[in-house]
Amino acid sequence: MHAPDGFLNAGTAVVTGALSAGTVGAALRQAKHYLQHRQVPLAGITAAFVFAAQMFNFPIAAGTTGHLLGGALAAILLGPHVGAVVITVVVVVQALVFADGGLTALGYNLLNMAVIPAYGGYAVFKLFRRLLPATSGGVVAATGLAGWVSVVLSSMAFSIEWLFGATAPVSFTRVFAAMVGVHLLIGTGEGVISALTVGTVLASRPDLIAGAADLDAGQIEDTRGPRAPTLLIAGVVAALFLASVVSQFAFADPDGLERVAQETGFAASGEEHLLSDSVFADYATAGIENETVSLAIAGVAGTLIVLAVGWGLLLGVKRPGRRSAV
Amino acid sequence: MGAGHAHALYVHEHSAVHRLAPEAKLAAALSFIAAVAVTPREAVWAFGLYALVLALVLAAARVPPRFLFLRLLGILPFVAFAFLIPFVATGDRVEVLGIEVSGEGLWGAWNILAKATLGAATSIGLAATTEVPKLIEGLGALKVPAVLVSIAAFMIRYLELIAEELGRMRMAMAARGYDPHWLGQVKPIAAAAGAMFVRSYERGERVHSAMLARGYSGVMPVLRPAGAGWFDWLLAMTLPLTGVVIAAVALVVT
C-alpha cells in the first residue's frame, strides 16, 4: 500500500497532505503529555517494533503471504493518538530512508496507513468493546475485528482518493471493488495477527495495553471470549459498519470519472475488459447499479468472514489449562 | 550501538553530494520530486531530461548503477499495477503489438511508471549519500516537530536490533520444523510478535531510565555545531532548480 510518486494527481497529494499534517499535528498535541513525561524512547522503540513486524511475513492461504500494517494494533496498544504518531514516523522513515512509498505521496500514504487505520481501527475497537464482554477474551476479539476493519477502511480510503485524483481512466468502481475485495481477505490476516499479539501481551503484561486499561485483574484472568450469539451480533455490526461506508459511495454521486468518460463518448468503446470475468468485476457493477443486492451480499460475506475470524480467535485464545471447556 | 557501521542503504564514498548538509539535500530531493510530479505526462522529453540530470548527480555521488537498479525493484508492485492499467482502463482504443488497449490508459501507465521511477531513484540517491542519523538531523533542521524527530531517531537506533531479534525467533521456529502455509497455523508468529512487543516496551523503559540517570531532560543534546551554509544550499538547489525550469517549460509547451 506504499503508493509511489505520481500515483495520484498533485491536487490530491496536496489536499491529503494537509489533512494528514493536520491530523498528526492534533495527535501530537493530544499525545503531548504522554510523550513529554516519559515515553519518547518508548514510542521510538515501539515504532521500531511496528516496522520490524511489517517485515515479518505471515501465511494467509496456500503459499500467499501478507504482512502486518499495524495501525489498529498500535492504536490499541498505545492509545489512538500515540499510535497514530508512531505509525506516522514509520511511514515517513520508510519513504525517506527505504524509498518505500514516494515522498510527494506521503500525504495520501499517511492518511491510508497511519491516520485511518489508527483512528478508524480504534473507533471500531471501542465500539466492539461495548458490545463484547469486559474480559481479556472480549478485548482480543474486539482487536481482531478492529484490525480487519482497519485494513478494509484503508483500502476504501485509497479507492476514494483514486476517485478524486486518478491519473488514468480506470473507473472508481473497478478500483474500489478490486482494492476492497482483496483487502477483505488480507484484513483477516491483520485481524488474526493483531488479536493474537494482543492476547500474548495480555497474558504477560496487561498493564501495557491502553485499550484494556479499564479491565481489573479478575476480568483479565477471564479469557472466556464472547459467546456465539454475541459474536454473531458483533459480526453483523461490523458488516453493517462497512456496508454503511460502502453505501455512502453507492448512493451519492458515485463516479465522476465514468460520467466524464460518458460525456466524452469513451464509455461505449470500453465494454470488454480483462477483469470483466473476475469476481470483483461482477461485484463492482452490482455494487453500484443494484445497491440493495450488493449490500446484502457484502453484508452476508462480511458476517461470515467475521464469524470465521472470531471463532478462530476463540480457539486461539483459550489457554491450555482451560482446553477442557472447548 | 552500530557506531561506525554504515547502513546497507548507504554507499560509503567521499563526494561533494555526500558532504552536503542533510537539510539542504532533503529539501532539494523533495522539491525535485515535486517538480517531476507536476510535469504533464505528455512532455516525454522532460522526463528524459530529469533522468539525465538525476543520473549526473548520482554519478557525481558515485552511486553504483547496479545498487540503484536493485533498490528500484522495490517499486515493482506498483509497476505491475501500471502495466495492468492499459487493459482495464476505459477510453480510446489503440493497437499495440496486435493487442487492443486503452490509449488513455497507456498514458496513465507511463505517467505512474516515469514519476514513480524518478521519485524512487531520487529517494534512493538521498539515502545512499546521507547516513540515516544525518537524515534525521536534517528533518529537525527543517523544523519537523522535535517529538517526531526524536521518535524517528530512537526507532532507527533500535530497528536493526529488533528486526534481528525477530529474525532469530523466526529461525528458531524454522529449526524446530515450523513451516506454516495457512492463516490458522499462525499462532506462534503472533505469539512471537506479542513477546517482542513486551520486550521492546520493557527495553524502552530501561533505556529511558538509563537516560534519565545520565541527565536526559527530554531534549537530545545537539552535537553538530553549524547548520547548512549558503554554499550547501546553493549547490544542493541546482538539482531542483533545473527540475523546476524543466517543469515550467513542459507546462508552458503542452
pLDDT at B228 over 70: no
- The pLDDT score that the predictor gives to residue A75 is 92
Residue B81 lies in a domain: yes
Same-domain status, B117 and B155: no
- In the prediction, which pLDDT does B82 show? 74
Burial classification of residue B202, based on how many CB atoms lie within 10 Å of its CB (0-12 exposed, 13-18 middle, 19 or more buried):
middle
Judge whether B131 lies within some domain. Answer: yes
**Confidence category of residue B1, pLDDT binned at 50, 70, 90:** very low
Closest chain B C-alpha to A127 CA, distance in angstroms = 23
Does the CB of A4 have a partner CB in chain B at under 8 Å? yes
Instruction: Indicate whether B55 and B117 sit together in one domain.
Output: yes
Evaluate whether B119 touches B33 at the Cβ level (below 8 Å).
yes
Query: 251-270 in A: which are within 8 Å (CB) of B?
Result: 258, 261, 266-267, 269-270
Residues 6+ apart with CB under 8 A from B80: none
> What is the distance between the alpha carbons of residues B120 and B126, in angstroms, rounded to a whole number?
10
Residue A310 vs residues A145, A147, A301: alpha-carbon distances, Å: 8, 12, 14
Residue A325 lies in a domain: no
Contact between A7 and B78 under an 8 Å Cβ cutoff? The reply is yes
| Residue B93, SS3 per DSSP | strand
Shared domain check, B167 and B242? no
- The 10s digit of each residue's pLDDT in A254-297 is 444 344 334 433 333 333 333 333 333 333 333 344 444 555 55
Three-class secondary structure of residue B94 per DSSP: strand
Q: Helix (H) and strand (E) counts for chain A?
A: 13, 2
Contact call for residues B88 and A170 (beta carbons, < 8 A): yes
Residue A272 domain-assigned (yes or no): yes
Query: What percentage of residues in chain B have a pLDDT greater than 90?
Result: 0
Q: Taking residues B220-225, what's their average pLDDT? A: 64
Q: Do A5 and B185 touch (CB under 8 A)?
A: no
Give the whole-angstrom CA distance, residue A146 versus residue A187: 10
- Specify whether B59 is located in the same domain as B75: yes
Cα-to-chain-centroid distance, residue A242: 11
Residue B38: which domain range? 16-138+227-253
Is residue A68 in some structural domain? yes
CATH of the domain at A74: 1.10.1760.20
Cβ distance B111 to B43 under 8 Å?
Answer: no
Q: Are residues B58 and B122 in the same domain?
A: yes
Dihedral-angle region of residue B97 (phi above 0 means left; psi in -120 to 50 means alpha; beta otherwise): left
**Domain ranges, residue A170:** 10-320
Chain A stretch 9-68, residues whose beta carbon is closer than 8 A to a beta carbon of chain B: 10, 13, 24-25, 28, 31-32, 35-36, 38-49, 51-53, 55-56, 58-63, 68
Q: Classify residue B5: in a domain, yes or no.
A: no
The whole-angstrom distance between residue A69's C-alpha and the CA centroid of its chain comes to 8
Mean pLDDT of B225-248: 78
Q: In A46-92, which ranges are E strands?
A: 57-61, 64-67
Q: Are residues B124 and B233 in the same domain?
A: yes
A167 touches chain B (CB under 8 A): yes
Q: Is residue A3 part of a domain?
A: no
Radius of gyration of chain A (CA): 20
Q: Which amino acid would we find at residue B65?
A: P
Q: Return residues 228-247 of B near A (CB < 8 Å).
A: none
Please write the tens of the pLDDT for every residue from B104-131.
Answer: 778 888 888 888 889 889 988 888 888 8
Alpha-carbon torsion (B33, B35, B36, B40), positive or negative: positive
Residues B58 and B131 occupy one common structural domain: yes
Distance from CA of A255 to the nearest CA of B (A): 13
B151 and B197 belong to one structural domain: yes
Q: How many domains is chain A partitioned into structurally?
A: 1
Residue B60 covered by a domain = yes
Three-state secondary structure call for residue A100: coil
Largest CA distance in chain B: 72
Residue B40 shares a structural domain with residue B107 = yes
- In angstroms, the CA B73 to CA B80 distance is 11
User: Does residue B115 belong to any structural domain of this protein?
Assistant: yes
Domain total for chain B?
2
CB-based contacts of A114, cutoff 8 Å, min separation 6? A20, A24, A71, A84, A87, A88, A90, A91
Q: What is the pLDDT of residue A248?
A: 56
Phi/psi for B93 (5° steps) reads: -100, 130
Specify if A5 maps to a domain. no
Q: CA dihedral defined by B219, B223, B225, B227, rounded to 10 degrees?
A: -70
The reply to whether B82 and B160 lie within a common domain is no
User: How far is residue B117's CA from residue B115's CA, in Å, rounded to a whole number?
Assistant: 5
Give pLDDT < 50 ranges for chain A. Answer: 250-292, 317-326
B153 → closest Cβ in A44, A205, A316: A44
User: Quick one: B80 and B177 in the same domain?
Assistant: no
Residue A4: inside a domain: no
pLDDT surpassing 70 at residue B134: yes
- Nearest by CB to A5, from B119, B145, B184: name it: B119
pLDDT value for A65: 64
Residue B10 within a domain = no
User: In chain A, what residues touch B218 (CB-CB under 8 Å)?
Assistant: 36, 40
Residues B246 and B128 in one domain: yes
* B114 within a domain of the structure (yes/no): yes
DSSP, collapsed to helix, strand or coil, labels residue B116 as: helix
**Residue (of A178, A200, A198) closest to A190 by Cα position:** A198
Cβ within 8 Å of residue A70, ≥6 positions away:
A50, A53, A54, A87, A90, A117, A194
Q: Does a structural domain hold residue B121?
A: yes
In degrees and rounded to multiples of 5, residue A215 shows phi and psi of -80, 140
| Facing B102 at nearest CB: one of A102, A192, A270 | A270
pLDDT single digits (tens) B11-31: 777 777 777 888 888 888 889
Q: With bands split at pLDDT 50, 70 and 90, how would you rate the model's confidence at B85?
A: confident
Per-residue model confidence as pLDDT tens digits over B36-84: 888 888 888 888 888 898 998 888 888 888 888 888 887 777 777 777 7
